[in-house]
Amino acid sequence: MTSGMFGAQGTGDTSGYGGLVRQASNFGSSERPYGSYFDEVADDLERAYPDFSDAIERVVVDRGEITLHVKREKLVEVAMILRDKLKFEMCMGVSGVHYPDQTGREMHAVYPLLSMSKNQRIRLEVSVPDADAHIPSVVEVWAGNNWHERETYDMFGIIFDGHPGLTRILMPDDWEGHPQRKDYSLGGIAVEYKGATTPPPSERRSYK
């Protein structure tokens, strides 16, 4: 059950006002044809990478976007092919997502890719268990992901194996927990402003 600010429960609403109800989507693999340039990308990757069917768990096309769900042990291989053969020269970073209800796949890492040569965008997504939240680093493929991986580690606790210096980037080194996980407390730390103290969200007035 989702628990939001001010005690809101049972919906996707984390604002505390109870007005937002969001149904969770659980997509299987999309069927061909995907449309747009997505079939071309899938075909080119399959031709360039013989282990395509073993490496790609599913392909999801939704809302005009394509996501390739990649097995973590194949991530770096797929990334190298996408960069060198399919000309996805830029990775725009990596974002963590925490789905506590997806047993065995609680932690997700999402990589938006851009081909400047062809003006195309795709996404890679890797899912791993919370108990073994290790994903290979792609810094050797896209060096600009260095700080993005550090932030995702800091906020979600995903460990990027092979990262050259995986340390916290926003929180102090001795901070306990990872603040953007769904099981992280929403309050409990008082904030002080020039002698006045603002109570944490969990202790403020309730809007019901």
Query: What ranges do the domains of the chain cover?
Result: 26-180
pLDDT score, position 187: 66
Nearest in space to 208 (alpha carbons), one of 49, 17, 15: 17
In this predicted structure, the answer to whether residue 37 has a pLDDT above a threshold of 70 is yes
Per the confidence metrics, is the pTM higher than 0.75?
yes
The SS3 of residue 45 is helix
Pick the CATH number of 26-180 from 3.40.630.40, 3.30.460.80, 3.40.50.2000, 3.40.50.720: 3.30.460.80
Give the Cα separation of 57 and 199 in Å (integer). Answer: 46
Q: Coil, strand or helix: which one is 10?
A: coil
Q: For strand 107-115 and strand 95-98, is the pairing parallel, antiparallel, or unpaired?
A: antiparallel
Each residue's pLDDT tens digit, 142-180: 999 999 999 999 999 999 999 999 999 999 888 889 999
Q: For residue 61, count other CB atoms closer than 10 A to its CB.
A: 20
Burial pattern 69-101, b for ≥16 Cβ within 10 A else e, equals bbbeebbbbbbebbbeebebeebebbbbbbeee
